[in-house]
Structure 1
Amino acid sequence: MAIIIDDMGTSLEALQQVLDLGQPVTISILPLSPYAEETARIAHENGLEVMLHLPGESLNHQEGNNSTAGLIRSGMKEEEVRSLVEEALSRIPYVEGVNNHMGSKITQEEPVMRPILDILKSHDLYFIDSRTTAETIAFDLARKMGLRTAYRNIFLDSSVGVDFSKKKITDLFRLSQKTGKAIGIGHPFPETLQALRENIQLLKKFKVTPVFASQIIPD
């Protein structure tokens, strides 16, 4: 079972709370966040796995700010897409994989996803499809292109609240126990981090072993 914490790089305090969990959590860092490089360095020095949280255009403008600098958009020329991905990767050291931030629009579009995935493959990076839409083609395309890839099974905080997240974390443990592997994605909300702290003790009960995202992906 792997837990990924998205939207990292905006708070070093949140990073410390993730470190304090004492578990192999994977952190996914926004490339233009104020503490992106420092977050990656501290996480790496403390044994955590680092991902790039690559911003992509969403279908629902309320999902996030589609005017964000560095956002990969539908209809972009291939050269521009490639340039944005390379720039994002250059901002974060120790990256081992990538997942999409928002991206419910572009993850449905092969002309946009193919150059993204091509660059990730050239850097020998894995790809996690965050599945921000049920219509995503990203995981299937990545697999066809020969990348190490997987997809998110459960969002831990699609509704923000300690009790909600504790239930979702338990669901993740149960799914992992049943299927042998599962990926959960959460965010550095105080409620999510509290729920993780309180539910860590259930790992032994469910006989679940937490691992980094890279360790759950088939070769």
Structure 2
Amino acid sequence: MPARKGESADRFKAKIVSLLKWPDRLSLGLQLTVLFSALFGIALIFGFILYQFAERPHDEREVASYGDQQPAQTQRPETPQIVEDPDKAYSKRSNKPHPIDLSELAIEDTVLDDGTRDLSRLPPNLTLTEEPLLTDATPQASPPGQELKPEEPQESEQQAALTEQSLPVDANRKTSRKKTVLETEKPLVVVVLDDVGVNRTGARGAIGLSTPVTLAFMTYAAGVREQVGQAREMGHDVMLHFPMEPRGGQDPGPQALLTSLSEDELKARLAWGLDQFEGYVGVNNHMGSRFTEWSDGMRLVMEEMRKRKVFFMDSKTSANSVAEQEAERAGVPLLIRDIFLDNDYKKPATIMSQLLKAERIAKKQGYAIAIGHPHLQTLNVLEQWFPEARARGIEIATVSKLVDHLEKIDPDFASLETPD
């Protein structure tokens, strides 16, 4: 009996030793496989523990630390009140693609969205309006009996002068060419609508205006050549609206002119933009408060204007723009805006006040250039203003009509080519 117990114990020990030596009988590859499988399993367990801990709310971890505290109650955000006034409700919808600071710029360039074109062609930071679509290409006139009364001119003048007052102005800067006084039978007001083409509804409304004006089409607008053709058929002048770098880091759009680009890249972008469509009589800047202050960049722009025999219109988004100096050096005809119509695009009365200010300027110097955008409000105000301005002896002219007068006193304008 004792012998059997000794034999059993010896066999048990032998089995234990055999089990302990089992790795020696495995191949090296199989040993590595077992080792990595074990490590992977340990890593999974450790990761799961960390994941569970990380998922716990911050305040819950604090409760676990202090024990006797209760988790903080999360307060539900208050439900916003419904605004009954449609004007107030509309004011909550942004219509500005670029959050431009009026302390640095004189205009907030705007784009309207009707959902009919490819959003991928727009700057990534663009915020588009949710205005309802126009049911007709022609803006509707004001309802009978509701006469649009302009606001006091003092308020709108102060608003339009924000940039000029806040930016430092070079005391040695030459007197602007826009001060040239024309002798005309009637004062001329040239209305230029920028940003045309990106929004098809806004473009249709602008093209459908009852009076020919000047439409500046965006270089990167989808279907821009077709829209330009329609505008010219309706008797409008066409300009090319070229995106340029602003201050503040906003994105002016695809293929914009930037101060960080090399000369070769700037030339390539100029060629791309200026070849997007034909038939334009001149070019003006979209944004550009930084770029238009850069002499080297504007020199390249003016060289291209001279080659193509078109004028440049400075939208004057910076009081320190060097466009005039570079245009004079290159012998390029230059125009400069006088008034921005719709900085405050939500108030038709303010738009009308700016138009009346343009009339006053035109009576003093023979003409005035007023820049606006194809907002529904702006188009409606223009339709009301057209007959009223004519009744006051104002001629609503395209930019080509102004050039016809200027070429008699400025030889640079005589060198321009008329589009076919």
TM-score, normalised relative to structure 1: 0.93
Read off the aligned partner of 2:361 and give its amino acid letter: L
Q: Which has the larger radius of gyration?
A: 2
Whole-angstrom CA distance in 2 between matches of 1:181 and 1:143: 21
Separation in structure 1 between the aligned mates of residue 392 and residue 333 of structure 2, nearest angstrom: 27
Q: 2: distance between equivalents of 1:96 and 1:83?
A: 21
Partner amino acid, structure 1, of 2:198: T
Post-superposition CA distance 1:72-97 (Å, at most 9, x none): 10132222111111111111221111
Letter in 2 for 1:113: M
The answer to whether structure 1 residue 142 and structure 2 residue 324 are counterparts is: no
* Equivalent in 185, 190, 203 of residue 371 of structure 2: 185
| CA contact 1:157–1:187 (8 Å) conserved in 2 | yes
Kept after mapping to 2: 8 A contact 1:76/1:112? no
One-letter amino acid of the structure 2 residue matched with residue 135 of structure 1: N
Correspondence for 2:227: 39
In the alignment, is residue 158 of structure 1 matched against residue 343 of structure 2?
yes
Distance 1:132 1:35 in 2: 27
Structure-2 separation of matches of 1:93 and 1:23: 22
Judged with a 3 Å threshold, the aligned counterparts in structure 2 of structure 1 residues 23 and 144 are, in CA distance, closer, same or farther, namely: farther
Between stretches 110-119 and 16-25, larger displacement belongs to: 16-25
Q: Is residue 260 of structure 2 the alignment partner of residue 75 of structure 1?
A: yes
What amino acid is the match of 2:362? S
Instruction: Provide, for residues 91-121 of structure 1, a one-character-per-residue CA deviation record: whole Å limited to 9, x for no partner.
Output: 1221111000000001001110111111111
Cα shift readout 1:120-139 (whole Å, capped 9, x = no counterpart): 11000111000001111112
Distance 2:389 2:207 in 1: 17
Gaps of 5+ in 1: none
- Which structure 2 residues correspond to residues 14-93 of structure 1 after superposition, within 5 A? 14-61=202-249, 64-66=250-252, 68-93=253-278
The TM-score with structure 2 as length reference comes to 0.50
Matched residues, number: 216
Q: Does 1:122 align with 2:313?
A: no
The 5 Å alignment of 1:94-109 reads: 94-109=279-294
SS at match of 2:343: coil
Preserved CA contact (<8 Å) 1:174 1:206: no
Post-superposition offset of 1:210: 1.7
Look up the match of 2:360. 174
* Aligned residues with identical type, % of pairs: 26
Cα shift at 1:215: 2.9
Q: 1:11 corresponds to which residue?
A: 199
Larger % of strand: which? 1
Q: CA deviation at 1:28?
A: 0.4
Partner SS for 1:200? helix
**Does the CA-based 8 Å contact 2:390-2:396 persist in structure 1?**
no
SS in 1 for 2:367: coil
Provide the C-alpha distance between the structure 2 equivalents of 1:81 and 1:122, rounded to a whole number of angstroms. 16
